[in-house]
């Protein structure tokens, strides 16, 4: 009879086996899906270019359809297209056969996603789509299927086997179709000469939207709120300027207000650690020349990246003549929703 101690040891062994098997399985699945994507990459040819051209020349909407796991992939493809400048919608095949096919117009392009290409809900729509006269692009793993035979362009997303150990659950095939959809969207994005500012237009909300649209002028402090002293300012004046403003630093400006350097409270502390004889010093004796700056008109995300990369808490905003016109603290950017 097994003792409590032996049972405990057995449980530990079982746990270790479960952990190692999970890791092994996880790696195997990822390798299988990576292999599937690599295989379909080799099939990208003139048919792919033709599909991109059809989508580019579409004067209506791109209607993406599929059911089951393919339907989920179709939704994602439609979403990616929409976010990159293409009017795209997802159409559920069953709902399509019960009235929603009314959204499909002759100027549209339909993209069908189906592993087998013979899904009833999808194939039932094909005669109607043909009657409407819309071009059909199919992403399928079966080039002899009803869907493939009635499509204007067929993109082969077939895989040798699923990552599922029973070769049943759509895993590698779903990943392959999803990757092909991304390839179409990115190729179309380039064909449209889609720019970051265009992307920002379709992503105005959240952190992403702010990274793409928020400018330094939107968050910087200006005018008298910007700490500044002259090159010849005595250290007592420098300390007062740093203490009276909220940035823990001050700009040092030369002739015509051109930025010459920066002094931080950390600079003052390090100076005091070296010597107590400081009151004869001027700003030019203590400052760090050529401080990190961003130009007016820059994205606030650029200022944040500069702070993170150089491990600093504030950055000076300068104009074309290198005069300080603003200052931003790291906390201001975080409060604005950048991260």
Residue 158 backbone phi and psi in degrees, to 5: -70, 150
Give the helix ranges, DSSP H, for 116-192: 120-123, 126-132, 146-149, 172-191
Contact between 293 and 316 (Cβ < 8 Å): yes
- The span from the CA of 56 to the CA of 62, in Å, is 10
| Percentage of the chain lying above the pLDDT 90 cut | 71
More confident residue, 55 or 207: 55
Contact between 71 and 125 (Cβ < 8 Å): no
Distance of CA 94 to the CA centre of its chain: 33
24 and 78 assigned to the same domain: yes
Instruction: Estimate the crossing angle of helix 69-83 against helix 172-191, to 10 degrees.
Output: 20
113 and 61 assigned to the same domain: yes
CA angle 198, 200, 203 (to 5 degrees): 120
Q: Which 3 state secondary structure label does DSSP give 105?
A: coil
Domain finish residue from 127, 161, 194: 194
User: What per-residue confidence (pLDDT) applies to 1?
Assistant: 47
- pLDDT at residue 330 tops 70: yes
Which CATH number goes with the domain that contains 113? 3.40.50.10490
Q: Which residues contact 274 (CB under 8 A, 6 or more apart)?
A: none
135 and 224 assigned to the same domain: no
Q: Which 3 state secondary structure label does DSSP give 136?
A: strand
Contact between 182 and 41 (Cβ < 8 Å): no
186 and 85 assigned to the same domain: yes
User: What per-residue confidence (pLDDT) applies to 135?
Assistant: 97
User: What per-residue confidence (pLDDT) applies to 286?
Assistant: 93
User: What per-residue confidence (pLDDT) applies to 54?
Assistant: 97
Is there a domain that residue 130 lies in?
yes
The DSSP code for 255 is G
Which CATH number goes with the domain that contains 308? 3.10.580.10
User: What per-residue confidence (pLDDT) applies to 277?
Assistant: 84
- The pLDDT of 86-108, averaged and rounded, is 93
- CA distances 236 to 26, 233, 244, 279, Å, are 63, 8, 12, 7
User: What per-residue confidence (pLDDT) applies to 144?
Assistant: 95
Listed range (10-19, 56-65, 73-82, 84-93) with the worst mean pLDDT: 10-19
Q: Which of 48-52, 85-89, 93-97 has the highest mean pLDDT?
A: 48-52
220 and 160 assigned to the same domain: no
Quick one: which of 314, 307, 336 has its CA closest to 248? 314
User: What per-residue confidence (pLDDT) applies to 206?
Assistant: 58
| Band of residue 95 on the pLDDT scale cut at 50, 70, 90 | very high
- The span from the CA of 306 to the CA of 317, in Å, is 12
182 and 225 assigned to the same domain: no
22 and 134 assigned to the same domain: yes
Contact between 267 and 252 (Cβ < 8 Å): no
Q: For residue range 222-244, list pLDDT tens digits in order.
A: 999 999 999 999 999 999 999 99
Is there a domain that residue 11 lies in?
no
- pLDDT at residue 43 tops 90: yes
145 and 35 assigned to the same domain: yes
User: What per-residue confidence (pLDDT) applies to 99?
Assistant: 87
Q: For residue range 182-227, list pLDDT tens digits in order.
A: 999 999 999 988 776 656 656 555 556 666 678 899 999 999 999 9
- pLDDT at residue 108 tops 60: yes
Is there a domain that residue 141 lies in?
yes
- The span from the CA of 217 to the CA of 295, in Å, is 10
174 and 60 assigned to the same domain: yes
User: What per-residue confidence (pLDDT) applies to 246?
Assistant: 84
**Look-up of token digits 């992939």:** 73
- The span from the CA of 81 to the CA of 51, in Å, is 14
| Band of residue 18 on the pLDDT scale cut at 50, 70, 90 | confident
Give the helix ranges, DSSP H, for the chain: 4-41, 46-57, 69-83, 93-96, 120-123, 126-132, 146-149, 172-191, 196-202, 206-213, 235-244, 265-274, 283-286, 300-310, 330-335
- pLDDT at residue 165 tops 70: yes
User: What per-residue confidence (pLDDT) applies to 59?
Assistant: 95
Give the residue numbers spanning the domain of 49: 18-194
Q: How many residues does the chain have?
A: 339
| Band of residue 6 on the pLDDT scale cut at 50, 70, 90 | low
- Compute how many other C-beta atoms are within 10 angstroms of the C-beta atom of residue 58: 19
Is there a domain that residue 206 lies in?
no
156 and 230 assigned to the same domain: no
- pLDDT at residue 321 tops 80: yes
**Look-up of token digits 């095949």:** 93
149 and 225 assigned to the same domain: no
Number of structural domains in the chain: 2
- CA distances 85 to 31, 56, 169, 335, Å, are 33, 10, 33, 30
Pairing relation of β-strands 324-329 and 314-318?
Answer: antiparallel
């Amino acid at each position: 009879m097994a003792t409590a101690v032996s049972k405990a040891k057995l449980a530990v062994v079982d746990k270790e086996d479960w952990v190692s098997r999970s890791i092994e399985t996880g790696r195997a699945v990822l390798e299988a899906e990576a292999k599937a994507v690599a295989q379909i990459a080799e099939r990208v040819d003139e048919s792919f270019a033709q599909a991109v051209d059809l989508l580019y020349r579409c004067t209506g909407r791109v209607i993406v359809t599929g059911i089951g796991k393919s339907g989920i992939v179709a939704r994602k493809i439609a979403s990616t297209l929409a976010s990159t400048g293409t009017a795209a919608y997802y159409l559920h095949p069953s709902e399509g056969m019960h009235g929603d096919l009314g959204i499909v117009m002759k100027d549209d392009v339909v993209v069908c996603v189906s592993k087998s290409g013979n899904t009833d809900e999808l194939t039932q729509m094909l005669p109607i789509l043909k009657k409407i006269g819309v071009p059909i692009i199919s992403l399928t793993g079966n080039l002899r299927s009803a869907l493939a035979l009635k499509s204007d362009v067929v993109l082969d997303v077939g895989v040798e086997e699923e990552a599922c150990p029973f070769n049943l659950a759509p895993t590698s095939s779903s990943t392959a179709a999803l990757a092909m959809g991304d390839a179409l969207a990115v190729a179309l994005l380039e064909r449209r000469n889609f720019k970051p500012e265009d992307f920002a237009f379709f992503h105005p909300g959240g952190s992403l939207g702010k990274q793409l649209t928020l400018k330094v002028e939107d968050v910087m402090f200006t005018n008298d709120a910007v700490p500044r002293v002259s090159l010849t300012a005595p250290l007592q004046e420098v300390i007062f300027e740093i203490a009276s403003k909220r940035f823990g630093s001050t700009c040092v400006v030369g002739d015509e207000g051109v930025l010459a350097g920066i002094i931080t409270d950390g600079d003052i502390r390090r100076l005091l650690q070296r010597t107590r004889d400081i009151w004869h010093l001027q700003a030019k004796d203590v400052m760090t020349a050529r401080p990190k700056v961003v130009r007016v008109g820059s994205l606030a995300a650029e200022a944040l990246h500069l702070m993170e990369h150089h491990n600093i808490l504030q950055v000076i905003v300068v104009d074309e003549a290198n005069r300080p016109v603003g200052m931003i603290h790291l906390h201001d950017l975080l409060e604005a929703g950048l991260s």
